[in-house]
Amino acid sequence: LNGVKFKKSDKVRFLGVLLDDQLSWDHHVKYLEEKLKSQIIIIKRIRKFVPTSQNIPIYQSLFVSHLTYCISAWGGTSKTKIQRLFTVQKRCLRILFGSRPTFDHAEFYETCARTRTFEENMCPKNYVLEHTKPLFVKHKFLTVHSFHNFFICMEIFKIIKYHMPISLFSCFNSGFGLFHRKLLTLPKYYLNNSRNNFLY
């Protein structure tokens, strides 16, 4: 541009979201995964000093706020990438709301015999991780997959209600006739990868 050569970059940060040249969201998912793991470290450090009644506000403020940021944009990426974030989310739930200690709890590594009962000393240690589905149901938490669907529905609702932005409102086909005017039709696709498209 005007004799100045610009260096090509495979990624760029825009409003806290990492955009890559292929829109595969590889860099952003990797960055978000590391960010969530760092938040887990903070939660592990403050867990013993905070009453259990504050676990839900801690989870919402330190973890969910990062997990759901612009999820309506990058949440449609491949299932394998979303699964990596879901694994970190389940790890956070086990720390704050789990019924038995895991490798993230300090008490899991206690070796002093006086801190455990005779039965705990004699039985082998259970290394099986606790199932998190009961935790999601008990506390009415959404998974990362459900967060994406929820925010997408919210965005679509606001676009249809306020007709803004017009560039996105014109992408929706509301059907024909009085009966079908409130129904949305999905666009046709020929490849499964097309389901990750924003319009779908």
Q: What is the pLDDT of residue 194?
A: 63
Contact present, 69 and 123 (Cβ < 8 Å): no
Measured CA to CA, the distance from residue 6 to residue 2 in angstroms comes to: 11
CA 181 to CA 171: how far, in whole Å? 15
Residues of the chain with pLDDT under 50: 176-179
The pTM for the full model equals: 0.74
pLDDT value of position 44: 86
The pLDDT value given to residue 174: 53
pLDDT at 88: 92
> What is the pLDDT at residue 73?
86
